[in-house]
Structure 1
Amino acid sequence: MIVYPDSYYAASANREVDYPALAESLTADICVVGGGYSGLATAIALQEKGYQVVLLEGAKIGYGASGRNGGQLVNSFSRDIDHIEKHYGLQTAEALGGMAFEGADCIRDLIKRYNIDCDYKQGGFFAAFTDKQLKGLEQKQKLWQHYGNDKLTLVDQSSIKNIVDTNAYVGGLVDEHCGHIHPLKLALGEAAALVKIGGKVFEQSKVLNIEELKASNDKTVIVKTAQGQVTAKKLVLAGNAYMGNLQPELAKKSMPCGTQIVTTEILPAALAQSLIPSQYCVEDVNYKLDYYRITADNRLLFGGGVTYGGGDPASIESFLKPHMDKIFPAMKDYKIDYAWGGDFLLTLNRLPQLGRIGENIYYTQGYSGHGVNTSHLAGKLLAEAIHGDSSRFDVFAQLPHYNFPGGRLFRVPAVIMGAWYYGLRDKLGL
């Protein structure tokens, strides 16, 4: 049996339900593979539209990135809208820009409609170390305002201490449209919501084989696990970095990358409040960025770094603690209670991959570090497409995506070299 990693989230989620492993043959309208945000958001949206949905998770609900991430509802995509316009044209940029802030609204809507207790707090802050970075945030403010985000405020160094108590930054951008959550609580709440409206959820049910049947007009997909199978009209693949090689053509277009998080012991309430008076989540704008926030029980949660190819460094605490202490020198006297890592899925162009394989297999993957919001948007778009309106889904599906050159043997070193270059630019302030 696969269990959760030893994370703060797993220790504090108060999980009350264990879903059974699939041990029978079922028939459904839709089979969804993956019990993270992508699969859950898709399954809920389709079940709400009247489809009978079965969701299969190979481990536990939220076992992958959805239950391990920084918990920040970050808007837009890993490549922002100006980059999309430059490389893919104004029409595509306008279409994607119109969806760039929808994911956070999808999450808030689910929280409200299904009464999901996931420690939601509103607001986030993008922090700049240099004047050049601050200028970039000023441009981001104008860009995002153009696409409808009117909840942005640029701040200079004189106002920083009202947001976060550090001398590290020269300014930043407040985004009241984003926020932060306990990610595993959100995933578990979404699974409960799916079951409440009639969907079926199975854990410890790794998919071993997919078989398409194309007899006359009755095209179906048979999804097999070790002890059971699901026969469905449509299949959604939503395993992301934890799907393995189930569909080799998707694996070639992406690469798992690891990120790490530490969480301190419980801090005195006054200290926790003083570190981030705004109660926002914070992330800097370096290429290899750090991100952090205060949890509901007054811990400092701090994450960052990237390990290309997935996995964790030898000591997560030794890797991240110096970053934390640089931002908050007072943290040198407080111990780390939890340290864990998890993988997200990187694409070559850092844009999400949504598409179809044949007529009745759909997929979504590769949010490249922006998965909390974008996965929920993707779930909504997949449901729209399967229900008959693929107009918004097709904007993503038509984006060109390429295999990483040279296969896995060469793609990791190539990406590391690129990351080293941009990391050096961060350090030099270029």
Structure 2
Amino acid sequence: MAAASNYFPVANPTLPFWHSEEDSFKNLRSTPELPQETDILIIGGGYAGAAVGYWTYKEAGSTPPKVLMLEARFIGSGATGRNGGHLKPDYYREYLSFEKRFGQKDAASIGNFEHDHLAALKEAIEDLNIDCDFVLTRACNVHLTKGAVAGCLKAMQALRKNPYTKVLNDIQVQFGSNAEITSICEDSPLSLTFTAGHLWPYKMVKGFLQYCIEKGMNVQTYTTVTSIEKQKDGSYIVHTNRGSVKTKKVVLATNAYTAGLAPEFEDRIIPVKGTCSHIKVQDGDKPAPYLSNTYGICRDFTNHEYLINRPDGTVIVGGAKPYYLKDKDAWYKNVDDSTLFAGDVKGWYETFMQNHFYTWKDAKTEVDYLWTGILGYSADALPWIGESPDQSNKYIIGGFHGHGMPRIFLSAKAIAQMMLNNVPVQMTDIPVPFMLTAERLRNARNTVLKDTGFSKL
């Protein structure tokens, strides 16, 4: 099937902090040439693709299939290597919408699924002894406006009435001076904390792929898939810039770029450009005050920042939507992560910590890495997980809507189970609202401009 839109990775992407260390593994080619055929072909060398590979080998046992991974650029060059490194199951912010659309049980399943990622990823990282700076901690969301506070309280009130949720006892709400002390943010009338984690995303992916390679996976970087051709026998010919490969099953772990190879996802998975930064105390200044939590700075539903505190005292901060949201062409359906946004985004980040945390008031900070990345927003704000409704043996794992860290790993497990056992997505533990079905694909309407607040500008 030919490409529908020009949704392909560009050359020379901006350099994120997560790729600041020299590492030849990211350019891996397991063999000089592409194999002519394989059992499973995974398109995409990020978190989703690596997780599908990991679970495929875990679930297959002693007789694994032949697995080939193709990556258009280098390993972790997409959203995985450009995100905030934040494993944060904060679905409460969207809970009211979920309950209205899906009812209490299915709405609860989304939060439970996200929370389950904490233990699942911790176990896998420790089992493989992956050195990726993984820290299990608490996330602290601060709510700075009356609207943000009211929305939080309303969501929590509804959650307390949901008998299916497993996450309620993990959430603590603080008010007034307690909120200020907990958050170290004197402007916060309400803070909400819950279990979360943070890590070095590229190193996590590298660890999973090293495990897969030991089991037999062939990895080919700088190999751009240009089209996917269905054969009469149910297999596929995957065409690339380096030749073609025949495969029994194909997985599109391509997130924002999915519609480029699967035209049916045009306006179902939408590329959205965002920005992120690495902030450190200036050389020679006193060490930064350590933050014991990760953070969400919530002004309203669409205007918020996220922050993780690195073990070395530096921080990763992402957001800055006021600097680019009004310029639709700068971010909407834009796959160019080789350029930064216009405006003084760097200057805004350089005083971000002082402007929000009272323990940082006297710190002198600088932004040593500023980058952009392409997120795969979903038309209905939820991931697409499953087998293509009209093309058997073609699987999709994408559309994580900027919230993939607590949703990808166990979604990949479901994809592996579907492929190995030839079962539908309904026989996995995927939340029903995530399932790729013909009805959902047909009825989904692109509300990204509305949901991001652009339509109100």
TM-score w.r.t. the length of structure 1 is 0.84
Letter in 2 for 1:194: C
C-alpha deviation, 1:353, in angstroms: 1.3
Residue 339 (str. 1) matches residue 370 (str. 2):
yes
1:397 to 436, 445, 457: 436
Give the aligned partner of residue 326 of structure 2: none
1:223 to 238, 251, 262: 238
Distance 1:108 1:346, change over 3 A: same
Matches within 5 A, 1:12-411: 12=21, 14=23, 16=25, 18-20=27-29, 23-48=33-58, 49=60, 50-75=64-89, 80-90=94-104, 92-93=106-107, 95-122=109-136, 123-130=138-145, 131-136=149-154, 138-139=156-157, 142=160, 146-149=164-167, 150-160=169-179, 162-176=181-195, 178-215=196-233, 219-243=234-258, 245-266=260-281, 271-274=287-290, 276=291, 278=292, 280-285=293-298, 286-287=300-301, 288-306=303-321, 307-310=331-334, 312-315=340-343, 316-318=345-347, 320-321=349-350, 323-328=352-357, 330=361, 333-357=364-388, 358-388=391-421, 389=423, 390=425, 391-392=427-428, 393=430, 395=432, 396-398=435-437, 400-401=440-441
Unaligned runs of 5+ in 1: 406-410, 425-430
What SS is found at the alignment partner of 1:284?
strand
Distance 2:53 2:305 in 1: 32
Distance 1:12 1:161, change over 3 A: farther
C-alpha deviation, 1:106, in angstroms: 3.0
Distance 1:161 1:185, change over 3 A: farther
Distance 1:152 1:141, change over 3 A: farther
C-alpha deviation, 1:387, in angstroms: 2.5
Taking only the aligned residue pairs, the percentage that are identical comes to 23
Contact persistence 1:4–1:10 (CA under 8 A): no
Distance 1:146 1:340, change over 3 A: same
Distance 1:39 1:294 in 2: 27
Q: What is the root-mean-square deviation of aligned Cα atoms in Å?
A: 3.1
TM-score w.r.t. the length of structure 2 is 0.80
C-alpha deviation, 1:175, in angstroms: 1.0
Unaligned runs of 5+ in 2: 1-9, 322-330
Distance 1:255 1:146 in 2: 31
Deviations 1:209-263 (A, max 9, x none): 2122223xxx311212122333221110011113461221113312111221122
Contact persistence 2:92–2:155 (CA under 8 A): no
C-alpha deviation, 1:126, in angstroms: 1.6
Contact persistence 1:156–1:172 (CA under 8 A): yes
Contact persistence 2:350–2:365 (CA under 8 A): no
Distance 1:257 1:331, change over 3 A: farther
C-alpha deviation, 1:74, in angstroms: 1.7
What SS is found at the alignment partner of 1:245?
helix
Deviations 1:393-419 (A, max 9, x none): 5831247245887xxxxx7xx744553
Contact persistence 1:239–1:365 (CA under 8 A): yes
Number of equivalent positions? 410
Contact persistence 2:275–2:371 (CA under 8 A): yes
What SS is found at the alignment partner of 2:241?
coil
Letter in 2 for 1:377: L
What SS is found at the alignment partner of 1:233?
strand
What SS is found at the alignment partner of 2:20?
helix
Give the aligned partner of residue 9 of structure 1: 18
